[in-house]
């Protein structure tokens, strides 16, 4: 019996040593992989909450082997800074709006083209379908790996400190904060406004000090960033729909064993879908809660704005910029635009 126990111990030791020499086995032996995920949104935003829930599931399902920590509030830098850091490998992954990625991946901004999606189900079909697949393919060309489905960021609306927006004429000469998204910048230039690019973390102060007259964002952002404290009017233009993508550094992501990558990808996809529902529920109640905090809402007929963009030749310009293939995929969901 003693000889048998000794032999079994020796066999176990030999097996462990052999297994430890197999790539990836060390991760299963207790070595923990820690990664950082940066995002510019506030801690309370549903997307941040969803990402943190996904990362908690990843930690649990990987038995503690893969830990991804979410850093909100631009803690790791601005959106453009974080994209550069992920590409260089300084941080592992980040999430930001499709329009921001467009500085590197032009097709990523096609979903932000104004007045193209009739409703959220249409937008989700596009992003979960061949248009989304086409956009994701562009990430790999610029040293980024897209992870999972698109996260809903909502339809964008305009807030102002001086007056509501009821017509195209109300935008003439208005200093409006927009993100670093060329399509949105071109949109408001074509509508007669003076778009100004300011990082999301600096927008509150810019509104408070009247550097800009207004801004445009989904209601969840207006609430999370407390813009209602420094704005009086919210015009429900719904002029563009936005989504967020998670992107990782290829080398960092490739160093994670395949089984852990699958766990992470499933969790991100699951919570992207859950967050869509959570954001829809939240948005449905936000108009009432924001009204109680001082914002005055007005509905807007979008057709005159779309007509003005057509007249200015904006859709033809965007078609030429995005290319026939990308534009055809967009029109599959939006209908004929140009």
Cα separation, 319 vs 131, in Å, equals: 15
* Predicted pLDDT of residue 21: 36
The domain segmentation of the chain, as residue ranges, is 32-334
pTM: 0.83
Q: Is 159 exposed, middle or buried (0-12, 13-18, 19+ CB in 10 A)?
A: buried
* Predicted pLDDT of residue 284: 87
* Predicted pLDDT of residue 199: 87
* Predicted pLDDT of residue 224: 87
Provide the residue-wise pLDDT of the chain in tens; the chain has 338 residues: 444 444 434 433 433 333 333 333 333 445 799 999 999 998 989 999 999 999 999 999 999 999 999 999 999 999 999 999 999 999 999 999 998 898 899 999 999 999 999 999 999 999 999 999 999 999 999 999 999 999 999 999 999 999 999 999 999 999 999 988 889 999 999 999 999 999 888 999 999 999 999 999 999 999 989 999 999 999 999 999 999 999 999 999 999 999 999 999 999 999 999 999 999 988 889 999 999 999 999 999 999 999 999 999 999 999 999 999 999 999 999 999 87
* Predicted pLDDT of residue 14: 38
Instruction: Write out the CATH class of domain 32-334.
Output: alpha beta
* Predicted pLDDT of residue 25: 37
**Which residue intervals of 140-215 are DSSP H helices?**
182-190, 203-208
Cα separation, 266 vs 252, in Å, equals: 18
* Predicted pLDDT of residue 30: 55
Residue recorded with tokens 């999430």: 95
Q: Where are the beta strands (DSSP E) in the chain?
A: 33-39, 66-71, 93-97, 145-155, 157-160, 175-178, 194-197, 214-217, 233-236, 241-248, 296-299
């Amino acid at each position: 019996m003693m000889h048998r126990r000794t032999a079994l111990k020796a066999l176990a030791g030999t097996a462990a040593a052999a297994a430890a020499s197999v790539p990836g086995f060390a991760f299963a032996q207790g070595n923990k992989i820690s990664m950082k995920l940066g995002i510019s949104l506030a801690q309370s935003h549903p997307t941040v909450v969803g990402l943190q829930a996904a990362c908690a599931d990843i930690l649990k399902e990987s038995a503690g082997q893969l830990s991804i920590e979410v850093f909100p509030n631009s803690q790791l830098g601005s959106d453009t800074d974080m994209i550069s850091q992920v590409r260089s490998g300084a941080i592992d992954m980040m999430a930001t709006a499709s329009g921001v990625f467009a500085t590197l991946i032009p097709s990523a901004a096609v979903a932000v083209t104004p007045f193209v999606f009739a409703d959220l189900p249409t937008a989700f079909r596009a992003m979960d379908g061949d248009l989304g697949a086409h956009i994701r393919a562009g990430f790999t060309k610029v040293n980024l790996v897209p992870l999972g489905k698109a996260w809903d960021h909502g339809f964008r609306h305009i807030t102002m400190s001086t007056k509501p927006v009821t017509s195209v004429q109300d935008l003439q000469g208005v200093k409006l904060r927009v993100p670093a998204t060329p399509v949105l910048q071109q949109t408001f230039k074509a509508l007669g406004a003076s778009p100004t690019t300011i990082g999301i973390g600096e927008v509150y102060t810019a509104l408070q000090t009247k550097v800009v007259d207004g801004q445009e964002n989904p209601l969840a952002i207006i609430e999370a960033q407390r813009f209602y404290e420094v704005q009086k009017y919210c015009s429900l233009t719904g002029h563009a729909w936005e989504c967020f993508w998670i992107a990782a550094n290829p080398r960092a992501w490739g160093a994670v064993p395949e089984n852990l990558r699958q766990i992470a990808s499933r969790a991100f996809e699951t919570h992207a879908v859950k967050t869509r529902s959570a954001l829809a529920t939240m948005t449905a109640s936000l108009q009432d809660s924001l009204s109680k905090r001082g914002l005055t809402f007005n509905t807007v007929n979008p057709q005159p704005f779309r007509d003005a963009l057509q007249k200015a030749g904006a859709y033809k310009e965007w078609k030429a910029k995005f290319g026939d293939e990308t534009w055809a995929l967009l029109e599959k969901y939006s209908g004929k635009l140009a």
